[in-house]
Amino acid sequence: MTDFIWLVVALPAAGAVYLHFFGKRAGEPASGWIASVLMSGAFVYALLAAVPFFQGTGHAESVVLWSWMPAIGAEFAIRWDPLSSLMTLVVTGVGTLIHFYAIGYMHGDPRFSRFFTYMNLFATGMLTLVLADNFAMLFLGWEAVGLCSYLLISFWYTKPSAAAAGKKAFIVNRIGDFGFMIALMIILTQFGTLSFDVLEDPHLGLSTGLATAVGLLMLVGAAGKSAQIPLYVWLPDAMEGPTPVSALIHAATMVTAGVYLVARNAAIYEMAPIAATTVATVGALTALWAATIAIAQKDIKAVLAYSTVSQLGYMFIGVGSTAYVAGMFHFMTHAFFKALLFLGAGSVIHAMSDEQNMDKMGGLAKHMPVTAATMGIATLAIAGVPPLAGFWSKDEILGAAFNQGGWMVVLWAIGLVTAGITAFYMTRQFVMVFLGKPRWDEGIHPHESPRTMTVPLMMLAGLTILGGFINTPFRTGLERYLEPSFETVDGAIHMAHPADGSTAWILAGVAVLAGLIGIYLAYRLYAGPEDRRRRVLGRFARPIFAWENAYWVDRFYGKTIVLPGKSVANWAAFKFDLGFIDGIVNGVAGAVKRLGATIRPLQTGFVRNYGVMLAAGSVGLLIWFLSRGGL
Amino acid sequence: MIELILFIIVAAVAIFGALTVVFARNPVYGAMGLMMTLFSLAVFYVVHLAHLVAAVQVIVYAGAVMTLFLFVIMMIGVDRDEDNTEKLPMQRQFVGALGLVIVLVAGIAAVGGRFDWVRPAASTVEANGTVQEVGKLLFTEWILPFEATSLLLIIAAAGAIALAYFGPRRRDREDA
Amino acid sequence: MEVTAGWYMTLAAVLFLIGAGGMLIRRNALMMFMSIELMLNSVNLTFIAAGKELGSLDGQLAVFFVLVVAAAEVVVGLAIIVSVFQSRSSASADELSELRG
């Protein structure tokens, strides 16, 4: 099976190429079906190829497709091991559902087939990223998904805000890529190769200091791609893209590339505990930071965007506290319920004729029962209500962090508070959208979405309910599945595990309690009488004002980074370039012109004059030769 | 001794013909002078045992080429004296100065004993330029340049025809 | 007194200089052309003389090729002169100064 594993990448790639050239002819909805079927083909193949891992008989394999840059250990090769297979399964599986959903969502868009071209291209890039067998190929996929993210965020490029959001995402990601690239260069200079083989035994090439540097630089790259402090600012803006894009790229797959990167480089982070702790700390701060902002957002997608940032922070706590399995587990469950939330939000937006302000919704549960039910499940899942998927993974992360002791207990506390806040703002969203009285604008007639949209919702809801059971404290299936990926030459990489016994029960109970308190408060506040809500919110007016404006981070970045950058660019363009560079160019041209004008009379046009000059030159040469010969 | 006398006479004729080319007012005289020089050179060729080349010199050069020249002179109607005043400033002075410099340099080189450029014969074998000898070499060792020149002649002939046929007068006629 | 190759070389040099001078002094394109022929022939003389001196036939063969090339050149050159004359009714090289800078 693994011999043809390249098919997983090749199928979406073929779709992208085909739709690029013939998408217009295929038209709607055929091009959407082509893209979706190819994605599901990739999923099915990946599933079959992963069977040995399920049975516990598989082992990591490298499939070399062709020789690319052998000098630096960068073959065009696919690595098929439990970790990459898990990523592949989630990317293709959730991706397939979102593709099908998009057929309904993008209905009537003039650039329908182009949208699916980009979607397939993104899938190609993402699969290259996760299936890469060396850092060069990983970087290739890393940049490819960045490009597709840019293309898809600014898919409706006629909207200035969408175009700006695309650019912002691209530029902010560039900053992260810069750190990532330096990390790769350190690896290349230390090992002389970019192959993942170095991860088998990183002690051979890296001192502890260098390992810390590599780990921190990779964190910069991961923070850019996975929207962590301080580089998270692009993700909320990325909601300008079509909702399936938000679901696929900015919730389920691409943004988790940073988590995958940290997990893949577990061996390096094991050498550098400082870097690992930094990862976890950044994750915890981001989780709390973004969760508070989410409380006060009015845009239905903005809430989900900040929620994504926050949940990614959880994953960073997981991988940073060496609980790699917990991190990957949360990545997986999060892919399920966050994709579901985004697709549900898309369904709502669709029904409300592109209205995204939650103040103008309400009471939609009656009109959109399927959407309401599935989103309700997802809301409970992200709030950490057992036995839904979010509970198991979040609990495992928090348990592992607590079990580490020391500084990690602080991070556990932050995570616990965040869990409560998460439950609060998600319940707030659900109540504002689906319950209460309608606050719609005139002339809006909400309706349930078509089958292509609701079926993926229901399937994701199923995954949200059942997905958590693959790795419960009682039956650690995912851990056994992933374990082979975290083995080095020396033996297994140290992995944090949640506490067991009564501690585990207490921790789980506390986490569930936090979630339930959040749900209760939000429900009481937003489903309750209006005047009480106004009174309570008025008491918290100041923090809410800060949260509504996302702590003015964008304005801060604008003043401290963007503005100086712009003035430097202005100076370079209008002072340096126009004055100095152009001055040199024009000066050279002017000098040549003046010289030409000076010697122009030499060209008399009389052939005999030329003859005299020729003769004079010959005589000069004659004299020269003779004098060299000692005249 | 005979060779010396012959050389002096023939060389004098050749130089006289050459000077005629330069200074004759009438192009026809110039052509005649050139023909004289060519004949003189043919004599020298015979002296150097280059029989075939001498014959070709007389037949092709002094015969065909010069006939062509005369033909053109007649055709374009310049068989009359022309104005020999120089209009380009300093042209003649410059040419004279250049000539002087060359003579001077050559003189210095000669005084310095540097005219030993042609080495004495390495062998005493006489190179006899009969038709047979030249032909043999021409069709063995020199076959490629020989064929190339045949190509050159065809191209030249085609070019001349093209110039005559598509020349400016033709165009004028078509315009009219 | 023996006539050595050097004599012929000197004669060839003199002829060459006369040809070059004619080329630079005459205004009539036909006469300039003849001067060029003169220069070519002076060079031919050096080939013949040197070939004799070295006991080689290659000098004569070189002359042979120069003759052919000169013939081709005459054909094209005269055609150009005729063509120019037809458009300008003059064979003066000084009239053709369109390429003045």
pLDDT, tens only, B75-121: 876 656 666 677 777 888 888 898 899 888 888 877 776 656 555 55
B97 touching C, CB under 8 A? Answer: no
| Residue A63 β-bridge partners | A78
Considering only alpha carbons, which residue of chain B is nearest residue A604?
B88
pLDDT digits (tens, 9 = 90+) for C46-74: 999 888 888 888 889 999 999 999 989 98
According to the model, what pLDDT value does residue B32 have?
A: 92
Q: Among the listed ranges A51-65, A147-161, A506-520, A611-625, which one has the minimum average pLDDT value?
A: A51-65
Confidence band, pLDDT 50/70/90 cuts, at residue B12: very high
C-alpha closest to that of A145 among A14, A12, A344? A12
Q: Which residues of A293-322 are buried (b: 16+ CB within 10 A; e: fewer)?
A: bbbbbebbbbbbbbbbbbbbbbbbbbbbbb
- B159 near C CB under 8 A: yes
C13 in B contact zone (CB under 8 Å): yes
Domain C5-89 -> CATH class: mainly alpha
Mean pLDDT over residues B4-11, rounded?
91
Contacts of A616 in chain B (CB under 8 A): 94, 98
Length of chain C: 101
Q: List the single residue in C50, C60, C83 with the smallest CB-CB distance to B53.
A: C60
Tell me A206's DSSP state.
-
Distance from CA of B89 to the nearest CA of C (A): 12
pLDDT beyond 90 at A477: no
Nearest-CA neighbor of A142 among A133, A160, A129? A129
Q: Is C60 on the interface with B (CB under 8 A)?
A: yes
Which of these, B102, C43, C84, lies nearest to A622 by C-alpha position?
Answer: B102
Q: What confidence score (pLDDT) does residue A426 get? A: 92
User: Which residue of B4, B126, B138 is in closest CB contact with C1?
Assistant: B4
Comparison of pLDDT for B80 and A276, the residue scoring more = A276
Please tell me the predicted confidence (pLDDT) of residue B169. Answer: 57
Range among A255-259, A353-357, A539-543, C6-10 with highest mean pLDDT value: A255-259
Looking at residue A197, its pLDDT comes to: 82
- Say yes or no: A626 contacts chain B, CB-CB below 8 A: yes
A547/A183: higher pLDDT: A183
Residue B167 C-alpha, separation from nearest chain A C-alpha, in angstroms: 21
Question: Which chains would you list as touching B if contact means 3+ CB atom pairs under 8 Å?
Answer: A, C
Phi, psi of B98 (to 5 degrees): -60, -45
Provide the pLDDT for residue A221. 92
If one compares A332 and A440, the residue with the highest pLDDT of the two is A332
Q: How confident is the model at residue B176 (pLDDT cuts 50, 70, 90)?
A: very low
Picking from A606, A619, A631, the nearest residue to B109 by CB comes out as A631
Whether chain B has a CB inside 8 Å of the CB on A503: the answer is no
pLDDT band at A493 (very low <50, low <70, confident <90, very high): confident
Distances (CA, A) of A436 to A52, A298, A382, A479, A604: 50, 16, 22, 43, 96
Question: Is 60 exceeded by the pLDDT of residue C78?
Answer: yes
Cβ neighbours for A561, distance < 8 A, ≥ 6 positions apart: none
CATH node for B1-78+110-117: 1.20.120.1200
Interchain contact C96–B (C-beta under 8 A): no
Q: Rounded mean pLDDT of A154-174?
A: 90
Give dist(CA A327, CA A396) in Å, integer. Answer: 9
CA A520 to chain centre: 32
User: What is chain A's mean pLDDT, rounded?
Assistant: 88
Q: Residue A593: CB partners within 8 Å, gap ≥ 6? A: none
**Residue A59 backbone phi and psi in degrees, to 5:** -140, 160
Is there a contact between A612 and B112 if contact means CB atoms under 8 Å apart?
no
Of the CA atoms within 13 Å of residue C94, those in its CB half-sphere come to 13
Question: What percentage of chain A exceeds 90 in pLDDT?
Answer: 37
State the DSSP string of A240-267.
GS-HHHHHIIIIISGGGHHHHHHHHTHH
Contact at CB, C64 and B138, closer than 8 angstroms: yes
3-class SS of residue A1: coil
Mean pLDDT across the stretch A8-23? 91
Q: What percent of chain A has pLDDT over 70?
A: 99
Weakest mean pLDDT among A614-628, B59-73, B85-99: B85-99
Interface test with C, best of B10, B13, B49, B65 (most C CBs within 10 A): B65
H and E: helices and strands count for chain B: 8, 0
ipTM (interface pTM):
0.89
Amino acid A81 reads: D
Restricting to A residues 562-621, those with a Cβ less than 8 Å away from any Cβ of B are 604, 606, 608-609, 612, 615-616, 619
CA–chain centroid gap for A57, Å, is 32
- Please give the torsion angle defined by the CA atoms of residues B157, B161, B166 and B172, in that order, rounded to the nearest 10 degrees: 140
The average pLDDT across A485-498 equals 74
* Residue of A603, A612, A615 with shortest CB distance to C101: A603
The dihedrals phi and psi of A476, each to the nearest 5 degrees, come to: -85, 70
- What is the predicted pLDDT for the residue at A385? 86
Contact partners for chain A, using 3 or more CB pairs closer than 8 A, are B, C
Q: How many Cβ atoms are within 10 Å of A446's Cβ, its own excluded? A: 21
Rounded to an integer, what is the distance from CA A484 to the centroid of its chain?
26
Per-residue pLDDT tens digits for A188-207: 888 888 888 888 777 777 88
| Alpha-carbon span B113 to A627, nearest angstrom | 14
CB-based contact A605 C99, cutoff 8 Å: yes
| Confidence label for A141 from pLDDT (cuts 50, 70 and 90) | very high
Does the CB of B100 have a partner CB in chain A at under 8 Å? no
Beta-bridge partners for A77: A64
Total Cβ atoms within 10 A of residue A498: 21
What are the pLDDT digits (tens) for A282-315? 999 999 999 999 988 888 899 999 999 999 999 9
> Which pLDDT score, from 0 to 100, does residue A490 have?
65
What is d(CA A330, CA A336) in angstroms, rounded to the nearest whole number?
A: 10
For chain B, the helix, strand and coil percentages under 3-state DSSP, each to the nearest 5: 75, 0, 25
- Contacts of residue C84 in chain A, CB cutoff 8 Å? none
Cross-chain residue pair C20–A603, CB shorter than 8 Å: no
Say whether pLDDT at A347 is over 70: yes
Per-residue model confidence (pLDDT) at position B143 = 92
Record: contact C101-A612, CB cut-off 8 A: no
What are the start-end ranges of the H helices in A265-323?
Answer: 266-271, 273-295, 300-320
Q: Is B97 on the interface with A (CB under 8 A)?
A: no
A110 CB neighbour count, 10 Å cutoff: 7
Question: ∠ CA A594-A595-A601 to the nearest 5 degrees?
Answer: 100
pLDDT in tens, A40-71: 999 999 999 988 888 878 788 888 888 888 88
Contacts of A616 in chain C (CB under 8 A): none
Find chains touching chain C: ≥3 CB pairs under 8 Å: A, B
Q: What is the model's pLDDT at position A59? A: 80
Average pLDDT over residues A450-458: 87
Residues of chain A with C-beta less than 8 angstroms from the C-beta of C96: 605, 607
Where do the structural domains in chain B lie, given as residue ranges? 1-78+110-117, 142-176
Assess contact for A419 and A413: CB atoms under 8 A.
no
Q: Which of A599, A604, A608 to substitute to test the interface with C, most C CBs within 10 Å?
A: A608
SS3 (DSSP) at A548: helix
| Confidence at residue A356, expressed as pLDDT on a 0 to 100 scale | 85
Q: What is the mean pLDDT of residues A98-109?
A: 88
Q: How far apart are CA A289 and CA A229, in angstroms?
A: 9
Would the CB atoms of C24 and A608 count as touching at under 8 Å? Answer: yes
Does the pLDDT of residue B47 top 60, yes or no? Answer: yes
Once rounded to an integer, what is the mean pLDDT over residues B131-158?
91
Looking at the DSSP bridge assignments, the partners of residue A61 are A80
Q: Please state, rounded to an integer, the average pLDDT across all residues of chain B.
A: 82
